[in-house]
Amino acid sequence: MIREKLINEDGQPAFGLFVDGINDINYMDYDLRNTMDRKLGKFSKHLKFNQFQFVGITSPELIVGIAIVDLKFASNCFVYIYEPETQSFEEFSFIQPLAINTQIGLKPNNSEASFQQGQNKVSISATKTPRLRTVSVSLKSGFKVHAVIDESTNFNPLAVCARAGYAGWVYTQKATALACSGSVQWADRKYDIESIGALACVDWSAGYMRRETSWNWGSLSCKLADGRHLGFNLAAGVNETGFTENGLWLDGTLHKIDMVDFQFNRYDSKQTWVLRSNDGIINLSFKPAGQRKEKMNLIVVASNFTQQFGQFSGDITLNGEIIHLEDAWGFVEDHYAKW
């Protein structure tokens, strides 16, 4: 049964894993205090609360990444597209001071995130009935995305709330290998998302994050040769205070993964990554094909962000079965943030 609210009557969050997720991230009810236990008011509660959403669409024919980030002092939205066959790549990035025209709802499965700057509009809208997540991108350049992600069947999100620093917490909900349909219009090319066999991953995160934090992340959504859907969400450096956000989905069934070690060269974007989990389930390499990189230093907030798209190869050992991956498309990320 889904938990209605994250924050209880005493102003404290519920920590742990939530099989059905949480309906409402009612952060304004949190008893937020500073490190000396002084209560903070409504303005501080609002200003310190950060939110972001990311949707990735992957197939051997097309890679698309879309994000909306609200840091209160500023908001950021980016969209990029990559065609593996031609190695064509284009990215679009927008920053709004004071998060103007940026809104992210507080219900992970029944609200909208939106960003607008001039003629550039991006939205990610989730509906509880029917359980669908609709992504809409319309940019001044003519680039458009209309994608519908089906969360009505075999939807088992990895929903976690963990402590962050002395007085904070982070709630995150992840899902991968989700069926999707729709279209992408890029210059003179139009892609039918369903016909190219694309699958989607969704990352919905919010909370009072550490003032300075960093993490590594890996995500995969693919179809195996036997037709099964396989996906994973792996991370290190964040959300690991008692619980992790590491999980693997095989045909919609979620399997938890232990801590994961990311080995890579931060200063060589072409070098192969290695990902291994402590429980032996994950033993993979990742070969980058390209990246979306951005450095933002606004004094109060800052970000050094690198998200790479490329191919995973290696073995996943699950319940006695060895699943071999060969050049499966996905994402990795190396990120420093000052919120």
Tens-digit pLDDT profile for residues 255-287: 999 999 999 999 999 999 999 999 999 999 999
45 φ/ψ angles, rounded to the nearest 5 degrees: -55, -45
pLDDT at 120: 98
Of the candidates 67, 19, 75, which has an alpha carbon nearest to the alpha carbon of residue 204? 67
d(CA 256, CA 248): 6
**Cα 240–Cα 290–Cα 179 angle in degrees, nearest 5:** 65
Calculate mean pLDDT across residues 103-114. Answer: 98
pTM to 2 decimals?
Answer: 0.96
Helix, strand, or coil here: 28?
helix
* Positions of E strands within 59-164: 63-70, 74-83, 88-97, 102-104, 112-117, 120-127, 132-138, 144-150, 158-164
**What would the pLDDT profile of 243-260 be if each residue is shown by its tens digit?**
999 999 999 999 999 999
- Both structure tokens of 234: 């792996």
48 φ/ψ angles, rounded to the nearest 5 degrees: -90, -5
pLDDT at 21: 93
Least confident of 62-66, 158-162, 228-232, 238-242: 238-242
pLDDT at 242: 86
d(CA 204, CA 56): 12
d(CA 231, CA 253): 10
pLDDT at 299: 78
- Both structure tokens of 237: 């450096």
Instruction: Return the residue matching tokens 């903070």.
Output: 40
pLDDT at 49: 97
9: which residues sit within 8 A by CB, 6+ positions away? none
